[in-house]
């Protein structure tokens, strides 16, 4: 299973860290002849050629629209001060005519690609900190993975909301997923879009469970404290 894994963290604002190395300048990649020449003589031919192609691919891209997830007035009676702060966007998910943007603070907003206006916020609880998003194309819904201040940010909670309801501005019309699972650290939930499966790990009883991504029914479970990893 090469899916998207979200692990439990005791800190609500803790995000994934990606260290970007400084890339060398691509001087000399001015035309196709030099690109092919560099590809043939470079010790890393494929990488050099792909980097030059990427530069050409995005050369004509232009800014079409801007979306802002920050609401200075606050979208609800927030009880967490850091949710009111402007932070960088860490996830962008596109689902049909809606774009979802998740900020590092844990606030997630939905925008219409037709009107370019903000539809609603996905935080349905004042103390909800959304950690990650997953678009389930099997039933046209968005899955949010969140932690809550009332739970001391100790366990993951999943919720599924149909895109149709979000389009109507009703993010609270969703329903909870995997309520029987204790997803406390070091537990996790992993979504595998390719195989249509969800893998959960309950650290409390050391049980792995596999669910069907279409209807969220449990398919089977594996109970073994010596299991370290599962691949599908």
Q: Collapsing DSSP states into helix, strand and coil, what is residue 160?
A: strand
Of 48, 182, 173, the C-alpha closest to 120 is 173
How wide is the angle at C-alpha 12 spanned by C-alphas 175 and 181, nearest 5°? 40
Measuring CA to CA, which residue among 174, 182, 189, 172 is closest to residue 7?
189
Contact between 202 and 8 under an 8 Å Cβ cutoff? The reply is: no
In angstroms and rounded to an integer, the radius of gyration of the C-alpha atoms of the chain is 21
Do 225 and 206 form a contact (C-beta atoms < 8 A)?
A: yes
Taking only the tens place, the pLDDT of each residue in 141-191 is 999 999 998 888 889 999 999 999 999 999 999 999 999 898 998 889 999
- Residue 213: closest CA among 166, 160, 163, 164: 160
Distance CA 162, CA 173 (A): 8
Q: What is the pLDDT of residues 10-51, one digit of tens each?
A: 444 333 322 224 444 444 445 666 666 665 665 555 555 566
- pTM of the predicted model over 0.75: no
Q: What's the whole-number average pLDDT of the chain?
A: 80
Highest mean pLDDT among 2-11, 18-27, 47-56, 119-128: 119-128
């Amino acid at each position: 299973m090469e899916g998207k894994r979200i692990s439990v963290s005791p800190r609500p604002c803790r995000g994934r860290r990606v260290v970007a190395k400084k890339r060398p300048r691509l001087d000399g990649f001015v035309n196709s002849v030099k690109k092919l020449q560099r590809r043939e003589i470079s010790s890393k031919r494929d990488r050099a050629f792909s980097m030059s192609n990427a530069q050409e691919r995005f050369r004509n891209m232009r800014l079409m629209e801007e979306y802002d997830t920050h609401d200075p007035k606050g979208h609800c009676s927030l009880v967490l001060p850091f949710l009111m702060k402007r932070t960088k966007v860490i996830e962008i998910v596109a689902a049909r005519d809606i774009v979802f943007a998740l900020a590092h603070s844990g606030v997630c907003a939905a925008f219409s690609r037709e009107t370019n206006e903000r539809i609603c916020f996905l935080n349905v609880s004042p103390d909800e900190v959304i950690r990650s998003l997953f678009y389930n194309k099997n039933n046209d819904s968005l899955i949010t993975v969140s932690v809550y201040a009332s739970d001391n940010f100790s366990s993951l909670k999943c919720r599924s909301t149909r895109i149709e309801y979000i389009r109507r501005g009703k993010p609270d019309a969703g329903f909870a997923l995997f309520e029987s699972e204790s997803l406390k650290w070091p537990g996790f939930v992993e979504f595998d879009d390719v195989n249509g499966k969800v893998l959960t790990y309950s650290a409390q009883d050391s049980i792995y469970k596999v669910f069907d991504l279409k209807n969220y029914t449990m398919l089977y479970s594996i109970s073994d404290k010596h299991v370290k990893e599962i691949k599908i």
